[in-house]
Amino acid sequence: MQILKKKIPFTLYISSLVVLILVMIFISINAGYIEVPFQNVLKTFIGQGTDSDELTIVNFRLPRIIMAILVGAGISVSGAILQSISRNPLADPGILGINSGAGFMVVFYMFFIQGNVFYQSWVSVFLMPLIALFGAFSAALIIYLLAWKKGTIKPTRMILVGIGVNAAFSAGLTIFQLKMEPADFTKALIWISGTIWGSTWTYVWAIIPWLMILIPFVIYKSRTLDLLTLGEVPSIAVGISVEKERRLLLFVSVALAGACVAVGGGITFVGLIAPHMARKLVGASHRRIIPISLCLGALLVLVADTIGRVLLAPVELPVGIVISVIGAPYFIYLLLFKQ
C-alpha cells in the first residue's frame, strides 16, 4: 500500500475527483422527475435553452447541486478535524452529537418563528447558520467538559459522551417537533432526515462565506493537525500549545458542521467516511487529507442526493437516509476491525 501511495501523485487523485464531481453535476442536472436531455443542458449553459429548461436547471437543480457539494465538503472537513484532535477514527459531527445540537437550535428557532413574517426571508436564512453554530457549540462544549479527565481528553470517553449528548439533544428536538403546527412539523421532520432543503441561491450565498474562510484556515493548520494526531508529547516538544490549538480547531470544526446542518439537515457519516478514505489514499499528511476529504465528501453527498431524487421519483429520499445505508455498515466495520 505504501508503494502504491508513492507511485500515484496527489494531483492525480485531486484531478480525478474533480472530474468525477463534474460528471456527477451533469448527471444530477439531467436526473429527476422532469428529465432534461444532455444537449438541452449545454444549450441552457450557453444561453440558448428554453425558458422551462432554464427554470428547471438554474432555479431548482443547480443551487441544490451546489448546496450538496458545499455541505459534503464542509462536513467532511469538520470530521477530519475531529478525528485528528480526538485521535479517534470514529469521530464524526453526527455521531458525537454536534449535528444534534445544531439541529436542536434550528428546530427551536423554527418553533418560535412559525407564522412570523420573517420566516424564510433573507434575514432568517442568514441567521440560520449562526443559530445552528450556537447549538453545535453548546453540544461541543458539553462533550469537551465531560470528556476531559486528568488534564486530557480520552478518545473512547469522548465517543461515549458524544453518543449521550446526541441522545439528549435528539430527545429535546423531538419534544419541540411534537408541539409544532402540522406543516412546520413536516418541514422539521424532512430536515432532520438530512435533506438538502436549503436549495435556493439565497441559502448558497449564506453558507459560502463560512466555507471560504474556514476551510483555507484548516489547510493552513495542517501541520498542527499532523502533530495533534501523533499525540501531546510530540506537539509539546515542538512548542505547540496543545489545548489552545485543540480548542481553536474544535471551534472551527463545530462552525463548519453547524453551518452545514443549518442548510443540509442532519446528515451523518460523511464526516466519518470521507476522511477515513482520504487517509487510505494519501497517507497521514493533513495537507493532503483535507483537500481529498473535501472532494470525497462533496462527491458522496452529490451522489446520494441524485440517488434520492431518482430512486423513488417523484418521491424524494432524504440524503441522510441514503448515506446512512452506506455509512452504518462502514461504521460497524471500523468499530469491529480497526484499532
Residue-level pLDDT at 114: 59
Residue-level pLDDT at 4: 45
CATH number of the domain residue 307 falls in = 1.10.3470.10
- Can you say how many angstroms the Cα of residue 5 is from the centroid of all Cα atoms in its chain? 27
Residue-level pLDDT at 73: 96
Domain total of the chain: 1
Residue-level pLDDT at 2: 46
Residues of the chain where predicted confidence (pLDDT) is lower than 70: 1-7, 113-124, 151, 153, 155, 197-198, 337-339
Residue-level pLDDT at 103: 85
Residue-level pLDDT at 20: 97
Q: Which region holds residue 254: left if phi is over 0, alpha if psi is between -120 and 50, else beta?
A: alpha
Q: Does pTM surpass 0.85?
A: yes
C-alpha cell at 239: 512548542
DSSP state of 91: -
Residue-level pLDDT at 3: 44
Nearest to 249 by CA among 88, 96, 79, 101: 79
Q: How far apart are the C-alpha atoms of 44 and 12, rounded to whole Å?
A: 31
- Residue 256 belongs to what domain range? 2-337
For the chain, list the strands marked E by DSSP.
Answer: 148-149, 152-153
The two counts, helices (H) then strands (E), for the chain are 16, 2
